[in-house]
Each structure stands twice: as C-alpha cells, then as structure tokens.
Amino acid sequence: MADYRTIKAEPLTNAIRAIVKAGGSSDREADLVATNLVEANLKGHDSHGVGMIPRYVQSVTTGGLAVNQHVKIVLDTGPLLTLDGLTGYGQVIGHEAMELAAERAKRNGVCLVGLSNSHHIGRIGHWAEQCIDHGLVSIHFVNVISRPIVAPWGGSDARHGTNPFCVGIPRRGKHPIVLDFATSRIAQGKTRVAHNKGVELEPGTIIDNEGKPTVHPRYTVIPPYGAILPFGEHKGSGLALVCEILGGALSGGQVVKGPSDGKYNVLNGMLSIVIDPDKLGTGENLAREVESFVAWHTGSSPGPGVDKVKIAGEPERETKKKRLAEGIPVDPTTWQDILEAGKKFGLDQTAIEKIAS
C-alpha cells in the first residue's frame, strides 16, 4: 500500500464534487454524484467509486452523458411507474426514481418501476438502501448497455454486461440486509482496479481474446478484449439473462444486440419492485421472522479461516467504519486519471490536490 495515497472521505467528496460541477452540473447534481461515488469507496466497492470519474468526464465531453437531466415519467398508474433517464447522471436519475417509487409504494403497498436510459447507475445497493430508509423492501434487476464484457456460460466471447441483481430488506432497530452482486465473477470495475494496481486476477475469473483462461486484467481494459466469466457457472449466466431481459426490455429500454456502437457511455436499465410490508399486512411478521432467521443463520459455527458468519451488507458496513476512520486508499494510476479528468473540465491539478488535502 506504500504507493497509495489515503484520502479522508470529506475532502475526497469535495474534490469529486468540484470536478463534476466544473463539467456544468448544478450544485445538487454534483453533490449527489460525489457522495454516491465516495459512499461506494467507503463500503469497499472501489469499482463503483471515484475511479469512475474519468469515464464520466469522457462521456460528458463526447455527448454520451447529459448533465442536469431529471427522470422523465413516461407512465404513472400509482403501482406501475415507467421512467426514462434521458442519459442523465445515474446518481441523480436513480435517486429521483427511487423517491418516486417509495412514495407510491407507501401509498399503494407496492410499486413496480421500469427505468430505462439512465447513464451509469452505480452501486445498486445504494438504491436498495434508499428504499430501506423508507422502511421498504426492494428487488432490482439491472442490465448494461455498453461494450459487452461478460461471456455467457459455455461461450468464448463477451455477450452482455455485468448485469447486477440486488435485494434490500429493512430490520427494525438493526442493520438491514443488502444483497448486491454482479452476475459476473467480479465487477468490471474491479478488473480496472486490478489493472491499475498491476496485479493479476484469480484463475477462473476471465478469458482472453481467444477464449482461453488468463489472469491478466488487461483483457477487460485494453484491446484486444477478452471477457469476464459468469459467477456460479450456468446459474449466474441464467440470472444475467433474466436481468438483461427484465432490466433492459421489460423496463422499456434496450438489450445488448451486438458490439458497442462506439459511444463512450454506459447506460443502465433497471426493473425495481418496491414493497411496503405494512401495507402488505405482514410488517410485524417480517420483523419477527427476519430476526429469528438471522439469529439461526449467523449462529453457525465459523469454518476454518472465518471469524464469524455474516449477513449480506455486513462486510460493507465494517469496511465503511474502517475507511471513515483511516481514509480511502486510492492507487496512483486512478488518482492521476482523476486529475487528468479534472483538467478536461478546466480544473488544474493543483486546485484538485488542494481540495483533496
């Protein structure tokens, strides 16, 4: 970690906020983007953190990401909501979409939300946590319109994105359950992080441009491209297929139909089911039974090399506590890329360094 710089959350947020604002975003948009990205870093998901800023900046400068957009309501029947993200910052579009969904779920008991055409929507657990703050259960299926990066099970080249799946379940007076994972072996951003660090990936994670196993992350970052493998063999690949169709097609958006169209952007579609347990008449039952099962689940004796059995979301909370205290590690390549991105928006390196320090 000697080559890393460690930056506290607040100054890092301020630096990212300044870069986004320099690109023409309003104060609110810059704040939503910066806090979302830094929160991903705090929770240990550096793949969805501040390292995304260079890609966002390039998307803005090439027209693939539109600043200061707001979610457009295409259809609203109360329990059914169809939304268009208008290629706006996903941190804004996602936030607005979940606020609309939460209001309708609390009124009607449930809201089924189809969101299409949002620029990179980031860590999906963020949106489950937003629903949890309203006391709501949520389920999310997401697809990715960009350069295909994941091979189907049994395939030899990339055919779709990392297609995340997420579920959020609130608990009364206790930390919630947040299940959030890519349907690929690892998130694409994690291969970028590994490439920037100069480290190899675990065997069985990716294949090269000839469909052969490799441990070199460059095959997902620079041409010639290979592909990430699905998690769980045919099971993860099947879930990715479902996420593509539900998140991309049923949401009212697109599915991957071939190679990238050359635009420098990442578009997400997301189908979300948001449920109010109290309106369902099962709120008390849920609260009681969740605690019963969590106690039983975590009561298993830890296996070799494991300190304790955890619930989904617990590792992220532990990492956040540590990084709030110690700071967020940023590798030198990623930091230099962030500085270069700021320069494209007219901020010189010294200005960003001063804010971050």
Per-residue pLDDT of 65-122, as tens digits, reads 999 999 999 999 999 999 999 999 999 999 999 999 999 999 999 999 999 999 999 9
Domains in the chain with CATH codes: 1-62+327-356 (1.10.1530.10)
Average pLDDT of the chain is: 96
Element holding 289 (H helix, E strand):
helix 283-298
DSSP assignment letter at 71: P
pTM: 0.95
Q: How far apart are CA 253 and CA 41, in angstroms?
A: 29
Of the candidates 113, 48, 108, the one whose C-alpha atom is nearest the C-alpha of residue 278 is 108
What is the rounded distance in angstroms from the CA atom of residue 242 to the CA atom of residue 350?
A: 47
Partners of residue 329 on adjacent β-strands: 6
Give CA separation, 75 vs 82, 99, 345, in Å: 5, 16, 36
Q: Is pLDDT above 90 for 296? A: yes
The single-letter DSSP state of residue 204 is T
pLDDT at 196: 87
The span from the CA of 196 to the CA of 207, in Å, is: 19
Length of the chain: 357
Neighbours of 260 (CB within 10 A): 13
Q: Is the pLDDT of residue 263 over 90?
A: no
Residue 2 is predicted with a pLDDT of: 46
Residue 1 confidence class, pLDDT cut points 50, 70, 90: very low
Q: What integer is the mean pLDDT of 201-211?
A: 97
pLDDT band at 181 (very low <50, low <70, confident <90, very high): very high
User: Encoding tokens for residue 141?
Assistant: 């299926």
132, 275 in Cβ contact below 8 A?
no
Q: How confident is the model at residue 262 (pLDDT cuts 50, 70, 90)?
A: low
- The two three-digit tokens of residue 57, written as one number: 């900046």
Contacts of 277 (CB under 8 A, 6+ apart): 135, 136, 137, 283, 286, 287
Q: pLDDT exceeding 70 applies to what percent of the chain?
A: 98
- For residues 83 and 188, the model is more confident at 83
